[in-house]
Structure 1
Amino acid sequence: MKKANLILLLLLWSIACHSQAIDEAANDTTITTEYNDGVLWLYEDIENVTVGTTCYKIKDYGKQYQIHIYIYNHSDTPLLFDPTKVSASLATKTGDTLQLQVYTNEMFQKKVRRSQTWAMALYGFSTGLSAGMAGYSTSYSTTYSPNGLPYTTVTQHYDANAAFQANMVASHQIQTLGNMMKNEREVKEQGYLKMNTIHPGECIVGYMNIKRKKGTIMTVFIPVNDVVYSFDWDVR
């Protein structure tokens, strides 16, 4: 059990969501700003719909930008938010513009599953190898020949019960790790933005991950109905 916990802690350490806030690029007079618990948010209000964002650098199954999005519908008609329409571009130091990968919930869950499958395979191999060797033991005995010279005899022993117990422990550890990975995926899915109809007077808040690359200004485009809200973030 301790080995399973250690492996999971190492896995979680590699994907820890230690975040770093990103500064705004103040070049749009239509954007308003405010701080919420020390975190900068940008807001844009168009046609009675307010969209706000904040941005972090995180490590979560790779280096990501994480955009938290707030959408408030104070119009008199429902509106549709489709996360597959969210996009992002990145200006580089050389003046080029790159299109960044914006992960939908389904895409990021697939990425997490793929990484967890590799981690589970490596852990299963290590645990199975240890369990397979658990039933074997080696003993050494020294005897002397008639001329007085010593020689050592090596004898291997196999304990079927010890091997059975080791395999039981290994199976339990793998099952425990699998359950913990499943719980982690479920936690990550909570709050990840999905398609939503936002009725008048309602709002939604959630986040999306964007594959991180080196650059200067990242622009995030958030279409809501027929209006595209754009926000610039200084990611240097």
Structure 2
Amino acid sequence: MKPLCIIMLFLSVTLSQAQTFIKVPNDTTIITEYNDGKLWAYRDINNFVVGLTCYEEKDDYGKYYQVQIFIQNLSKSPITFSPEEVTSSLQRKKDTLNLKVYTNDEFQKKIKRSQTLAMTLYGISTGINAGMAGHSTSYSTTYSSNGYAHTTITQHYDANAAFQANTASVHQLLTLGQMMDNDRTIKEQGYFKKTTIHPDEAVIGYMNIKRKKGNILTINIPINDFMYSFDWDVSKK
């Protein structure tokens, strides 16, 4: 694979597709609104407002459902939100499947595994190219007195060309490594981690859920011993 192709692979391109919230008729605890083109659903129960939007995400590291979560503490006591307690299930035609909800640490490990594989393949590719850069072959043909042709093959080695190619290869590896580090940093920004939410304080963050095909995606967010559940239609239209 050419170096440019692999570098372009990790110029993170993200595609997203919004999902539809399923509202139960006469459920007065739910409020919906659009924000920046995305449909948000909020539940106002037990002195907490929990909001959520859901869309399908695709980038260099796979496909998943991405949810942004809003939590506002209207009580008089601080609470701690633990993202590892968020669960999700997917209703399909014949069964219901529990889906993997990635914590920040788990998603960072997923990214690193993918990047390590890409870096290994890239290193092999550039190593082979650099190793061959100093070598060249020339052909010369002579003719004997009886008219027969004789071809001589000569191998040449240019140490300076090999050095320049190896230097370029190392630079490309360092550049790609820095790009990968930056990509991980960008994806970690805003990812929900364990957070204490004080009275009258609101926080927002996002989480990724392993994507599977199905009909209704349910996301359960436990806050202060109460489960805030949201159903989304994720079937293809």
TM-score, scaled to structure 1:
0.95
5+ long unaligned stretches in structure 2: none
Tell me whether 167-176 or 219-228 shows the greater mean CA deviation: 219-228
Name the residue aligned to 1:65.
65
Q: State, as a whole percentage, how many aligned pairs show the same letter.
A: 61
SS in 1 for 2:15: coil
Structure 1 residue 17 corresponds to structure 2 residue 7: no
Distance 1:90 1:6 in 2: 36
Aligned-pair distance for 1:37?
2.2
Relative to structure 1, the CA distance from residue 179 to residue 4 in structure 2 (aligned partners, 3 Å threshold; closer, same or farther) is: farther
Size of the alignment, in residue pairs?
231
SS in 2 for 1:183: helix
SS in 2 for 1:191: coil
Q: Could you say what the CA RMSD is over the residues aligned between the two structures, in angstroms?
A: 1.2
Structure 1 residue 122 corresponds to structure 2 residue 105: no
Distance 2:45 2:4 in 1: 49
Name the residue aligned to 1:49.
48
1:4 and 1:177 in contact (8 A); partners too: no
Distance 2:35 2:230 in 1: 17
SS in 2 for 1:19: strand
SS in 1 for 2:176: helix
Name the residue aligned to 1:148.
147
What amino acid does structure 2 have at the position aligned with 1:49? F
What amino acid does structure 2 have at the position aligned with 1:128? G
Aligned-pair distance for 1:171?
0.3
What amino acid does structure 2 have at the position aligned with 1:77? S
**Where has structure 1 moved over 4 Å in runs of 4 or more?**
none
Aligned runs of 1:102-113 on 2, under 5 Å?
Answer: 102-113=101-112
Aligned runs of 1:1-236 on 2, under 5 Å?
Answer: 4-12=3-11, 16-27=13-24, 29=27, 30-60=29-59, 61-94=61-94, 96-236=95-235
SS in 1 for 2:56: strand
